[in-house]
A and B are shown apart, each in its own frame.
Chain A
């Protein structure tokens, strides 16, 4: 299925782009992140990142659907 992904903060920096559309077979948000993590060598793991789908924070085991917009949010502390 086709998913729109947005990377925030350190993840954006490590991915090199802010957003992309991609094809995936991942069923859950955590599975999608694990797939992208191994592809792009993110320093943060699934436990350290939060997931939002279609404008709402969801859990790691949230089931993805065709056309979902996913945002990956790492912890941020600067000020």
Chain B
């Protein structure tokens, strides 16, 4: 249970009440002796209590979902605080430490932004004003759908596509010139989780093409810098920075955490290693390689055609020039990175034609393009790879009544409305209508494996969330009635318990 509360007295950190967590991270915000060079005597916090508590609870729940926390609690002080007192306490527990650390940092940033709490600093050298922490943060809290407004109107995206994007997990290997456009455009599109694998620190020679970074960042970890940039761009995405080189040993651990892998590396060895790892793990690999003003992009799906269909053995590293040796303009990797981001969006949203059977070659000097057909090579090891499970399991989980009427296979309706909500069924062609209040829903009891199930509720909210969760738990036959029972115009209502339509059980 996520708990947020305001406290008028000294904060006593609640004990961790969770035995399934392996990592427990706490944060304490303290009152210190000075602020912006002025000596502080004491602080006062005032909150719009009801709103702050509601917003705090929502935020904790959001962090719990996003970082898969096992346990989270937070306490914010109100009233008069002396130097050294704790103003805010946050505790996050997760299966592993990384999520706990990330969630804790996310929460303190967001608490300051979102909670209607005012602070007054009392200085020993004069008075001060109340400062709203929200306005002090200078960041308007934007919802994911506000940020995606211009793409949701595309029929290829829509609310379902946007939801699929927010659930997608994409890792970019190499935070160089290709990643400089791959990462921001994927973050901008609202990809839920972005991984960055990069062992290097920023060097001056990177800056002309790696435009996520600034000259003041020289010497810092590029993986972390990229993650910081992406959070500034999109506050809702989760980033995971791996400050290590991808190897055959760590590839399964890292890549299996993601749905799609994007190749931003600059060596043949790395490109072949990624090809092999992605085939073994059944992950699509979006690849690009450049040379001065030219390059190619292709998407390698599990089962091929893969890189080894064309090059059974990796060519010797010395036979190709790297950017360091051959030189490159910043725009070249930027251009090909954009094409890679586009491939990722096509894979998730399912529009257009992914460049899996064709490789796209572009020469930026004259704008000429060639699409070269690639085929599977007989006997190539990729033939034995399992097909990609896809993020598509999160797609098309919402159906409207017209689609349901076209279903030919038998299905049952699970009515998730609670007992205190209206009763009554709607005729959609189901073989059974079962009242299963969400508060008592148990997948093992409610679902028959392989049986198509349409979840319904009043407005489609609860059923949509549950359907997505069930899809992720490998129930591909779980659907949600879009817009719920309210959305059905001209319904054929079967009120009450008509035994002939209710072969299994009534609401209990």
Interface residues of A (CB under 8 A from B): 6, 8-10, 12-13, 18, 43-44, 48, 50, 52, 55-57, 71, 73-79
Contact = CB atoms under 8 A, between A and B. Distances in A.
A71 B263 contact: no
B340 to A, nearest CB: 10
Contact of B294 (A12, A48, A52, A77): A12
Nearest to B179: A79
Contacts of A43: 319
Contacts of B317: 77
B375 interface: yes
B319 A57 contact: no
Contact of B320 (A18, A50, A74): A74
A48 B361 CA distance: 18
B310 A9 contact: no
A50 B370 CA distance: 14
Contact of B271 (A8, A9, A73, A77): A77
B365 A76 contact: no
How many chain B residues sit at the interface, stated as a range, is 35 or more
Given A52-B372, A57-B372, A74-B320, A79 B288 contact: yes
B295 A71 contact: no
Contacts, number: 97
A10 B321 contact: yes
Interface of B: 174, 176-178, 263-268, 271, 288-292, 294-296, 310-311, 315-317, 319-323, 326, 328, 333, 336, 359, 361, 363, 365-366, 368, 370-375
A52 B316 CA distance: 21
Nearest to B290: A78
Contacts of B315: 48, 75
A16 to B, nearest CB: 13
Contacts of A77: 266-268, 271, 289, 317, 320, 322
Nearest to B173: A79
Contacts of A75: 268, 311, 315, 319-320
Nearest to B370: A71
B294 A44 contact: no
B365 A79 contact: no
A18 B319 contact: no
